[in-house]
């Protein structure tokens, strides 16, 4: 055992960490619970999950995320507001500070993988000063259960996680004390100044979004499931808050994954090993499978309000943030596949949360329309998913995931277009946003109705249903849908003021056209 500990210590020294404190390697979930609670990183709730508070950082910090601009990636990365360039020398200065900081802390190491397809998976080592960091990585990434393989684990990418360390913007070139910096050449990610766990998983997703397309693999900000067999796959594109996790957790279908996938010549594969669901207003009536995970030991709840005495959870409360979160292993969903792989999609559903309330709740897209909506990626940022967002804001996010796409949108669009044609995939646009008026006037589409539309699209019920062309957006709207009142299918019919509808719809269409010209 002494020899093993010495070898592990050497592994950390190879990363540049000379630790003077305790090092915890690949602790089990129960052991990480114990350490987190002992260190006041979280509290146990009534039914088993651990509850953590990451305030004031309760969402991603996109303005503090950078990519090091170096020779291997300089001519490949889609530079701009999303992928902000970071000076290579300043990265080394800040990384040195991170390593020195971690060397003075008790450390929690987690070795795991991203990518369920072994042909494309990446071994990752997380080094965190927090037990919660290791717990999150152990939940969200794919675990190595073979103890011998784990003992000899060889990582390709390293995540250095130092949430209590703040950068000096003047010295280090950051925008604030918070930093999330990716270095493709050194295969290293450094994170500091924020406790929001989502930065860990989204950083590795960005890595996969850079590497996979260069191998001809489509990387997707999407959930996926399948029906009667592994060749009846549905992919759900969408930004946070549009319903990817909710709609893919379908009791009549098998869940592959809820957020990040690759699409190779063999089919779809999950990039993760866990799910990261929004918890606000979660209930057993509307989302029974996800709600049940909040009764499991092994689930981690972020910023969910809990009674300090009874340890009861209040999912309706936004006292800390609207962006309350649940992370849990995909195995907690009853109907899921541990393989994390399946065949090629038969259907693609593009989810949008329309804050204007003018897009139809379901429409069939032609190939050209599918490419158009994929490039545009229209939705509304919902409250809390990013710092400073307090109410829905209309936005365009190319590929339904621009914050995580390292390459130009055209790269992903080309790959997707080829695969849609090669596999004759049907594409649908589903609006999970507002109906009867914009945000503040109308109401958000009821989940049971959206579920009914998704079910009809996936089981073939809409194959022979007549569609009517929307006069403004041009999409094909079904005249009827099983389980859905016909009057809500045409969005204009739900507005009291038809003139106001026309005005708002044309306003949105002009926004679409302007955005498409910028990114096509």
Judge whether 187 counts as a catalytic residue. Answer: no
Q: Point out the catalytic residue in the list 54, 203, 240, 324.
A: 240
User: Per residue in 76-111, pLDDT tens?
Assistant: 999 999 999 999 999 999 999 999 999 999 999 999
pLDDT on residue 391: 60
Residue ranges, comma separated, of all CATH 2.170.8.10 domains in the chain are 277-332
- The residue from 105, 155, 172, 221 that is catalytic is 221
For the question of residue 240 being annotated catalytic, the response is yes
Is residue 26 within 8 A of residue 110, CB to CB? The reply is yes
Query: Which residue in 501, 386, 499, 514 sits closest to 437, CA to CA?
Result: 501
Q: Examine the residue annotation and report whether 117 is marked as an active-site residue of this protein.
A: no
Nearest to 158 by CA among 12, 328, 8, 9: 12
Best CA proximity match to 356, nearest among 503, 480, 474, 248:
503
Q: What is the mean pLDDT of the chain?
A: 94
CA 508 to chain centre: 26
11 contacts: CB under 8 Å, gap ≥ 6: none
Q: Which of 69, 325, 455, 504 is catalytic?
A: 325
- CA 47, 58, 275, 376 dihedral sign is positive
Q: What is the largest CA-CA distance in the chain?
A: 77
Q: Which pLDDT belongs to residue 6?
A: 44
Distance of alpha carbon 90 from alpha carbon 103, whole angstroms: 20
d(CA 255, CA 442): 32
Active-site option among 259, 354, 426, 470: 259
- For domain 218-273+338-519, the question of CATH label 3.90.228.20 is answered with yes
What would the pLDDT profile of 230-257 be if each residue is shown by its tens digit? 999 999 999 888 999 999 999 999 999 9
For 136-171, what is each residue's pLDDT tens digit? 999 999 999 998 999 899 999 999 999 999 999 999
Q: How many residues appear in the chain?
A: 520
**Does the annotation mark 244 as catalytic?**
yes
Q: How many CA atoms lie within 13 A of 259 on its CB side?
A: 24
pLDDT band at 15 (very low <50, low <70, confident <90, very high): confident
pLDDT at 390 over 70: no
Rg (C-alpha) for the chain, rounded Å, is 23
**Which of 285, 277, 301, 220 lies closest to 50 in space, CA to CA?**
301
Residue 311: how many other CB atoms lie within 10 Å: 14
Say which of 125, 202, 344, 373 is annotated catalytic: 202
Q: Is the pLDDT of residue 3 over 50?
A: no
Q: Look at 301 and 395; give whichever has higher pLDDT.
A: 301
Give yes or no for residue 39 having a pLDDT over 50: yes
Cβ-count burial 402-437 (b if 16+ within 10 Å, e if not)? bbbbbbbbebbbebbbebbeeeebbbbbbbbbbbbb
Give the per-residue pLDDT at 18.
85
pLDDT value, residue 388: 59
pLDDT attached to residue 386: 56
Banded model confidence at residue 518, pLDDT cuts 50, 70, 90:
confident
Q: 277-332 falls under which CATH superfamily?
A: Phosphoenolpyruvate Carboxykinase, domain 2 (2.170.8.10)
Region(s) of the chain under CATH 3.90.228.20: 218-273+338-519
Catalytic annotation, pick one of 194, 219, 245, 254:
245
Query: What confidence score (pLDDT) does residue 8 get?
Result: 63
**Could you give the residue ranges of the DSSP H alpha helices within 2-123?**
2-15, 29-38, 88-103
Active site residue 245: yes
Looking at residue 515, what is its pLDDT? 87
Q: What is the pLDDT of residues 289-342, one digit of tens each?
A: 999 999 999 999 999 999 999 999 999 999 999 999 999 999 999 999 999 999
Tens digits of residue pLDDT in 334-382: 999 999 999 999 999 999 999 899 999 999 999 999 999 999 999 876 5
One of 45, 60, 201, 278 is an active-site residue; which one? 60
Catalytic annotation present for 202: yes
Is 92 in a helix, a strand, or coil?
Answer: helix
| Active-site residue flag, 125 | no
Is pTM beyond 0.85? Reply is yes
pLDDT at 1: 39
Could you tell me which of 96, 106, 100 has the C-alpha nearest to residue 133? 106
Over residues 507-519, the mean pLDDT reads 87
* DSSP helix, strand, coil percent of the chain (3-state; round to 5): 30, 25, 40
Provide, rounded to the nearest whole percent, the portion of the chain with pLDDT above 70: 95
Residue 59 DSSP symbol: S
Protein fold of 2-40+61-195:
Phosphoenolpyruvate Carboxykinase; domain 1 (3.40.449)
Residues 244, 364, 444, 504: which is the catalytic one?
244
- What does the alpha-carbon distance between residue 154 and residue 255 come to, in Å, rounded to a whole number? 30
Task: Indicate where the chain has its CATH 3.40.449.10 domain(s).
Answer: 2-40+61-195
From CA 518, how far away is CA 488, in angstroms rounded? 33
Residue 385 has pLDDT above 60, yes or no: no
């Amino acid at each position: 055992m002494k020899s093993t500990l010495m070898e592990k210590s050497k592994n950390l020294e190879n990363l540049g960490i000379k630790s003077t404190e305790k090092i915890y390697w690949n602790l089990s979930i129960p052991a990480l619970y114990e350490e987190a609670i002992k260190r006041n990183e979280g509290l146990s709730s009534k039914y088993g999950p651990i509850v953590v508070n990451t305030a004031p950082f309760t969402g991603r910090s996109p303005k503090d995320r950078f990519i090091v601009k170096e020779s291997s990636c300089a001519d490949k990365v889609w530079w701009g507001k999303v992928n902000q360039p970071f000076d290579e020398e300043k990265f080394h200065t800040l990384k040195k500070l991170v390593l020195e900081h971690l060397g003075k802390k008790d450390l929690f190491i987690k070795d795991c993988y991203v990518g369920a397809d072994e042909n494309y998976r990446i071994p990752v080592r997380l080094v965190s000063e927090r037990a919660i960091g290791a717990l999150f990585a152990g939940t969200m990434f794919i675990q190595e259960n073979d103890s011998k393989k784990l003992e000899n684990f060889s990582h390709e990418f390293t995540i250095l996680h130092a949430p209590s360390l703040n950068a000096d913007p003047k010295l280090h070139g950051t925008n604030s004390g918070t930093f999330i910096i990716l270095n493709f050449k050194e295969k290293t990610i450094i994170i500091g100044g924020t406790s929001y766990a989502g930065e860990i998983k989204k950083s590795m997703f960005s890595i996969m979004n850079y590497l996979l397309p260069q191998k001809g693999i489509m990387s997707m900000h999407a959930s996926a499931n399948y029906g009667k067999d592994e060749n009846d796959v549905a992919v759900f594109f969408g930004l946070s808050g549009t319903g990817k996790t909710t709609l893919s957790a379908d009791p009549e279908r098998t869940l592959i994954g809820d957020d990040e996938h690759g699409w190779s010549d063999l089919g779809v594969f999950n990039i993760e090993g866990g799910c990261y669901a929004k918890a606000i207003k979660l209930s057993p009536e509307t989302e029974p499978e996800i709600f049940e995970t909040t009764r499991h030991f092994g689930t981690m709840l972020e910023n969910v309000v809990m009674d300090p005495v009874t340890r009861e959870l209040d999912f309706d409360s936004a006292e800390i943030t609207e962006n309350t979160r649940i992370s849990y292993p995909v195995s907690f969903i009853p109907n899921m596949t541990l393989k994390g792989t399946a065949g090629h999609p038969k259907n693609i559903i593009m989810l949008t949360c329309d804050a204007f309330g003018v897009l139809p709740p379901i429409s069939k897209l032609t190939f050209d329309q599918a490419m158009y909506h994929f490039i545009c990626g229209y939705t509304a940022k919902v409250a809390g998913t990013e710092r400073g967002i307090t109410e829905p804001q209309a936005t365009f996010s190319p590929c339904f995931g621009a914050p995580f796409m390292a390459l130009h949108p055209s790269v992903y669009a080309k790959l997707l277009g080829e695969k849609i044609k090669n596999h004759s995939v049907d594409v649908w646009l589903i609006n999970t946003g507002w109906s009867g008026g914009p945000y503040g006037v109308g109401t958000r589409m009821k989940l049971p109705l959206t579920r009914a539309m998704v079910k009809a699209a996936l089981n073939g019920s809409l194959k022979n249903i007549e569609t009517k062309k929307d006069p403004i957006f041009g999409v094909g709207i079904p005249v009827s849908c099983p389980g859905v009142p016909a009057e809500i299918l045409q969005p204009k019919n739900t507005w009291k003021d038809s003139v106001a509808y026309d005005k708002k719809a044309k306003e949105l269409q002009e926004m679409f056209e302007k955005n498409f010209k910028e990114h096509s």
